[in-house]
Amino acid sequence: MINIFDLTPDEAAGEIKGMGLQAYKAGQVFEWLYKKRVLDFSRMTNISKSDARKLGSVFKTDIPSVERTLESTDGTIKYLFGLSDGNMIESVLMKYSYGYSLCISSQAGCRMNCSFCASGKDGLERNLTAGEMTGQIMASEISSGTHISRIVVMGTGEPFDNYDNLLRFLDIAANPKGLGIGQRRITVSTCGLVPGIIRFADYGSQVNLAISLHETDNESRSRIMPVNKKYPIEEVLKACRYYVEKTNRRISFEYALIPGVNDSPAKALELAHLLKGMLCYVNIIPVNLIKGVEYKGNPGKNAAVFYDILGKHGIHVTVRRELGGDIEAACGQLRRSHADEIWRRD
Ligand code: SF4
C-alpha cells in the first residue's frame, strides 16, 4: 500500500487515473485530504462506495500519531509524534500575529551533532519520508483545530541531508492541489551543507533559505558545529552568494546567542564584516538551554548589542521572540526526554 501523502499531487493523480477513475476524482480526493482533513475515503461524500473501495485498496492515508503535547503559557504547542516504525519526532506550533507557523522535523535524529542542540546527541535514526513531513502539518492542524499558514523546516534533522524527500515535501506543501501553502511562506533551514545550498539555488524556487551560522570564525564554529570542518564559513558564504545571485531571494542567517561563547560585541562586528554587501538579514536567537549542556549567563543579554552593531553596519537584523521556553521548545528536547523516560523505565 502506498501512503498517499508520500506522493506529490501530480503523482497521486497519475496513480488514480491508472486505477481507472476519472481524472477529476483526483481533485476531489485532494480537496477532502488537504482542505477538509478527511482521511477516510468512505467518508468522502462525493466519492462513490466502489471508488472509495478501490482507493482504499491502493492507498493508505497515514499521518503521525500524537503521543504527547506540551502547551506553553504563550500558546506554543509542542507535539511529540509517533511514526509507524516506533520512531518519535517533534513539531512546534507557534502563534504569531499573522497566524500559525509550524516548525517541522525532516529526520528522526540528526548526524550533525551541534553542541547546543538536543537532536544531534543520539545521532541519526533515519530520514523522514515526504508523507511524514506533510503528516506533521496535517496532524498538528487536526489536533489543534488551527490552520497553519507558514512552515519552517527547522526542527530535528538537517533537511539537505534528506534532500530528495525534502523537495517532494515542498511540492506537496506549496502545490495548490496539496497543502497550498505559498512557497514564500515556507523556510528551509540548513546548518550549511554546501552541495545542498547549491542544488537548492539551482532548483530555483521561492522557498526561503536560512543558514544556521552561529559563529564568525572557523575554529570557533567547528567547536560548536562539527559540520564546519567539512564546509568552512567561506565556502558556506560563497554558496550563499550563489544562491542569492541565482534566486534574487534574501537569505537569512540564524545566530543563536550562547552566553560566553559567541555573544561578545567583537563577534557582532565580525559578523557584520562577513555579511557585508549580501542580500540577507540576521535572525538573533536567545538560545534555548538544553538539559545536560552547561552555559553560563543569560542568553539574551547581548541581543540588543548585536542588534545595534549589525544595524549600524547596514545589516538587516531581527531578534526572535523566544516562544515556548517553559515547554522545552528547543529542537529535540521533547523527543530526547521521552527517550530518557523509556531508558529510565527499562
Ligand atoms: S541544530 Fe539542526 S543540524 Fe545541528 S544537530 Fe540540531 S537538528 Fe542537527
Q: From ligand 1's centre to the CA of 191, what distance in Å?
A: 7
Which set of grid coordinates corresponds to residue 96?
504569531
Q: Grid cell 511514526 — which residue?
A: 83
Residues with catalytic roles: 90, 331
Reported confidence tier of residue 73, pLDDT bands at 50, 70, 90: confident
Q: Is 110 in the pocket of ligand 1 (CB under 6 A)?
A: yes
Residue pair 215/243 in contact (Cβ under 8 Å)? The answer is: no
Determine phi and psi for 34, rounding to 5 degrees: -90, -25
Res. 337: pLDDT tops 90: no
- Beta-sheet strand order (sheet of 280-286): 65-71, 77-82, 88-96, 99-104, 148-153, 186-190, 208-212, 251-257, 280-286, 316-319
Mean predicted confidence (pLDDT) in 218-247: 97
pLDDT of residue 344: 32
Residue pair 256/214 in contact (Cβ under 8 Å)? The answer is: yes
Q: Is 158 in the pocket of ligand 1 (CB under 6 A)?
A: yes
pLDDT of residue 292: 53
In this predicted model, which residue has the larger pLDDT, 16 or 204? 16
Tell me the pLDDT tens digit for each residue of 249-281: 999 999 988 888 899 999 999 999 999 999 999
Reported confidence tier of residue 336, pLDDT bands at 50, 70, 90: low
State how far the alpha carbon of 207 is from the alpha carbons of 77, 150, 244, 246, in Å.
Answer: 24, 11, 12, 13
Q: Which atom of ligand 1 is nearest to the CA of 191?
A: 3
Q: Is 156 in the pocket of ligand 1 (CB under 6 A)?
A: yes
Q: Which atom of ligand 1 is nearest to the CA of 156?
A: 7
Reported confidence tier of residue 325, pLDDT bands at 50, 70, 90: low
Domain boundaries, the chain: 2-60, 65-345
pLDDT of residue 117: 83
Q: From ligand 1's centre to the CA of 120, what distance in Å?
A: 6
pLDDT of residue 303: 87
Nearest to 89 by CA among 62, 59, 110, 73: 110
Which set of grid coordinates corresponds to residue 181?
501553502
Reported confidence tier of residue 297, pLDDT bands at 50, 70, 90: low
Query: Closest Cα to atom 4, ligand 1: which residue?
Result: 114
Q: Is 117 in the pocket of ligand 1 (CB under 6 A)?
A: yes
Q: Is 159 in the pocket of ligand 1 (CB under 6 A)?
A: no
Q: What is the dihedral sign for C-alpha 34, 148, 252, 160?
A: negative
Q: From ligand 1's centre to the CA of 119, what distance in Å?
A: 6
Q: From ligand 1's centre to the CA of 303, what distance in Å?
A: 22
Q: From ligand 1's centre to the CA of 20, what distance in Å?
A: 45
User: What pTM was computed for the model?
Assistant: 0.91
Please state, in angstroms and rounded to a whole number, the distance separating the CA atoms of residues 142 and 163.
27
Res. 290: pLDDT tops 70: no
Average pLDDT, the chain: 90
Class of domain 65-345: alpha beta
Asked: is 2-60 a CATH 1.10.238.10 domain? The reply is no
Percent with pLDDT over 70 in the chain: 89
Tell me the pLDDT tens digit for each residue of 87-131: 999 999 998 888 999 999 999 999 999 988 887 788 999 999 999
Question: Kind of pairing, strands 280-286 and 251-257?
Answer: parallel
pLDDT of residue 267: 96
Q: Which atom of ligand 1 is nearest to the CA of 118?
A: 6
Q: What b-and-e string marks burial along 241-271, b requiring 16 or more CB atoms within 10 Å of the CB?
A: bebbeebebebbbbbbbbbebbbeeebbbbb
Reported confidence tier of residue 47, pLDDT bands at 50, 70, 90: very high
